[in-house]
Amino acid sequence: MKTRVWIIILSLAVLVCAVWWMLVSTPSYPSKIVGIYQNGSLVEKIDLNSVTGEREITLSGKFGKNTIFISHGHIEMKSAECPDKICVKHGALESSGTPIVCLPNKVVIKFESSSDGADAKTGAV
Amino acid sequence: MKTRNLILTAILTAFALVAFTIEAAIPPLTPIYGIKLGIANVFTLFALYALGTRYAAALLFLRIVLGSIFTGQTVAFIYSLTGGLLSFVLMVLLKRFFPLKQIWVLSALCAVTHNIGQLLAAVFMTSTVQIVCYLPVLLISGIISGAFTGLCAQLVYIRLKKWLENHLN
């Protein structure tokens, strides 16, 4: 076969693969599944993307009550009766940031690792 | 087995190892494992044309084993070996269909086979089928890098052909 034919075949293959790759890697919405833990055990698991409207969860611990505020794509510790209120000052939970922790009442709010295999794909090879 | 052939194989193996080690030291451009230039392939191709199948196979095997030891990537050894052997078999089988001016096409096909072999090994090793979604990227990178390394081998071999024929055999 002529060299020119090969060039055409290979460039076509590159093109097809590029289109294929674009189809495969269409951006999927990152899941925002958040877990709320108290004393190390799961209290509730919420997908922040599927939350409509606003909601509050109140947990009570040794040092009083913690109020968690949830709206679409957003979760924060609204108020706490513990002495330091570090969890309230933390603000909203960011996907790249640290989990919200209330040490006195042993409450932790953090992102759950997504279960759609995204981690397996990027981490395995 | 002629001494000159043996020495040339040894030198080419050393060259391939140096290229492989330097390339392994360069931080990867993409987070996807398996996308790289594969400069060491130039020497395998060159040996295949200049010295023949047996010497090229020896070079490839030594390069993969020693390269894994030198770079300390023992996990990559399995992937390298699977991809390397698969592409080498294809290289030997298809060699007769390609004239000297089309070594780069042969190399591109082999690089693609190499990446497919690597990916299959990865699927088998990690038992996650999802990795296959990297296939299109690996095919593109295989075609481009394979064509490039093939072109290198082709240009060098065509220039050295006369000299090789006089001094080997």
Report the CATH number at residue A63.
2.60.320.10
Q: Which domain holds residue A58?
A: 33-118
Distance from CA of A98 to the nearest CA of B (A): 24
What is the average pLDDT value for chain B, to the nearest integer? 89
Same domain assignment for residues A12 and A71: no
Q: In this structure, how many other beta carbons lie within 10 angstroms of the beta carbon of residue A122?
A: 14
Distances from the Cα of A88 to the Cα of A39, A53, A79, A81, B45, angstroms: 18, 21, 6, 10, 64
CA distance A119 to A123: 6
State mean pLDDT over B125-146: 86
At B98, give phi and psi (nearest 5°): -115, 125
Residue B79 reports pLDDT greater than 90: no
Give the pLDDT score at A26.
64
Residue B121 reports pLDDT greater than 70: yes
Whether pTM > 0.80 for this model: the answer is no
Domains within chain B, CATH numbers bracketed = 3-25+34-167 (1.10.1760.20)
- Encode B13-38: b = buried (16+ Cβ within 10 Å), e = exposed: bebbbebbeeebeeeeeeeebbbbbb
Instruction: Say how many CB pairs under 8 Å bridge A and B.
Output: 51
Same domain assignment for residues A17 and A56: no
**Preferred mutation among B123, B134, B151 to probe A, highest tally of A CBs within 10 A:** B134
Question: Which chain B residue has its CA at the smallest distance from A22's CA?
Answer: B136
Considering only CB atoms, which chain B residues are within 8 Å of A27? none
B13 Cβ partners below 8 Å, 6+ apart? B43, B58, B59, B62, B63, B66
Distance of CA B38 to the CA centre of its chain: 6
Determine whether the interchain pair A125/B108 forms a contact, defined as Cβ–Cβ distance below 8 Å: no
Distance of CA B132 to the CA centre of its chain: 22
Give the pLDDT score at A120.
42
Give the pLDDT score at B84.
92
Distances from the Cα of A94 to the Cα of A34, A74, A76, A98, A116, angstroms: 11, 9, 10, 7, 20
CA distance A59 to A78: 12
CA distance B88 to B110: 7
Q: Write out residues in chain A with pLDDT < 50, as ranges.
A: 115-125
Same domain assignment for residues A20 and A61: no
The number of C-alpha atoms within 13 Å of A121 and in the hemisphere containing its C-beta is: 13
Encode pLDDT of B42-70 as tens digits: 999 999 999 999 999 999 999 999 999 98
Count of domains for chain A: 2
Q: In this structure, how many other beta carbons lie within 10 angstroms of the beta carbon of residue B77?
A: 15
B108 touches chain A (CB under 8 A): yes
Question: Which chain A residue has its CA at the smallest distance from B141's CA?
Answer: A14
Distance of CA B16 to the CA centre of its chain: 9
Encode pLDDT of B7-27 as tens digits: 999 999 999 999 999 988 888
Give me the residues of B, 146-165, that contact A with CB < 8 A: 147
Considering only CB atoms, which chain B residues are within 8 Å of A24? 133, 136
State mean pLDDT over B100-125: 91
In a domain, A125, yes or no: no
Residue B147: band (very low, low, confident or very high) from pLDDT cuts 50, 70, 90: very high
Residue B137 reports pLDDT greater than 50: yes
Question: Which chain B residue has its CA at the smallest distance from A2's CA?
Answer: B102
Same domain assignment for residues A78 and A60: yes
Look at residue A70 and give its three-state secondary structure: strand
Same domain assignment for residues A52 and A21: no
Q: Which residue has the higher pLDDT, B127 or B93?
A: B93
Q: Could you report the predicted ipTM of this complex, rounded to two decimals?
A: 0.76
Specify the amino acid at residue B90.
L
Look at residue B73 and give its three-state secondary structure: coil
Determine whether the interchain pair A14/B102 forms a contact, defined as Cβ–Cβ distance below 8 Å: no
Q: Are B62 and B84 in contact (CB under 8 A)?
A: no
